[in-house]
Chains A and B, each alone.
Chain A
């Protein structure tokens, strides 16, 4: 059973460009979470999605950031007009459908975004 896959592993963008980060959850997992890790800090929650639905986006910056998890294909975290402060590691995690309780989240290897 393949783990959570993220690509690219490293992404370099110039200020003002767009960044697209992809996440394929583990087989059988229908819930995806995105977290951001700034240097020397813990992970901070950004958004929680199910197929075709955003469940909780309370951690997403109000502008330039968006996320989707279509019926087919990977989840996408999109950052428009990137700035240097967006440089961070972005982690995706997945879990099976929670049946009334929190289930363990399994993390991908992360995408390290560098904005020049």
Chain B
């Protein structure tokens, strides 16, 4: 079974700073996907970024980028030039490439951006 661990329950940074959220996972699969979802106070789950494990290049989406270390089973999210609207819970998630389509989520990191 797959597990996803986010070891930082809470983080807080000043606006415009860069922040990195950690995620590690455990799997015996070789092909899979990793995701970061954001859950603001509205509780809507919003996809931030997605990484295919077979791609060595780290995914980027504007101010959001990941550091994917497959051998170490690590998948961290970097938010550059943080904004007040980035305040949210962030969840790391794992999905197998084939077979069961369910996502396995970490416990989440509560990120607060201070003005």
Q: Which of A19-27, A38-46, A62-70 contacts B (4 or more CB under 8 A)?
A: A38-46
Distance A107 CA – B35 CA, assembled complex (angstroms): 13
Contact A105 B103 (CB under 8 A): yes
Say which size band chain B's interface belongs to: 20 to 34
Q: Which of B13-21, B61-69, B73-81, B91-99 contacts A (4 or more CB under 8 A)?
A: B91-99
Most buried by B among A35, A41, A101, A104: A101
Distance A48 CA – B97 CA, assembled complex (angstroms): 15
| Chain B residues whose C-beta falls within 8 Å of the C-beta of A48 in the assembled complex | 100-102
Distance A69 CA – B48 CA, assembled complex (angstroms): 28
Nearest CB in chain A: distance from B95 CB, A:
4
B25 at the interface (CB under 8 A from A): no
Contact B100 A91 (CB under 8 A): no
Nearest CB in chain B: distance from A41 CB, A:
6
Q: Tell me the dominant secondary structure on chain A's binding face.
A: strand
Contact B96 A102 (CB under 8 A): yes
Q: Mark A81-116, 1 if CB is under 8 A from B, else 0.
A: 000000001010101001011101111011010000
Say which size band chain A's interface belongs to: 20 to 34
| Chain B residues whose C-beta falls within 8 Å of the C-beta of A35 in the assembled complex | 103, 105
Known: A43-B105, A104-B35, A104-B50. A109 touches B42 (CB 8 A): yes
Contact A33 B101 (CB under 8 A): yes
Q: Mark B20-55, 1 if CB is under 8 A from A, else 0.
A: 000000000000110101000011111100100000
Nearest CB in chain A: distance from B43 CB, A:
6
Contact A102 B44 (CB under 8 A): no
Known: A48-B100, A56-B100. A110 touches B105 (CB 8 A): no
Known: A43-B91, A104-B47, A104-B50. A56 touches B97 (CB 8 A): no
The chain B residues found within 8 Å of chain A, CB to CB, are 4, 32-33, 35, 37, 42-47, 50, 91, 93, 95-98, 100-108
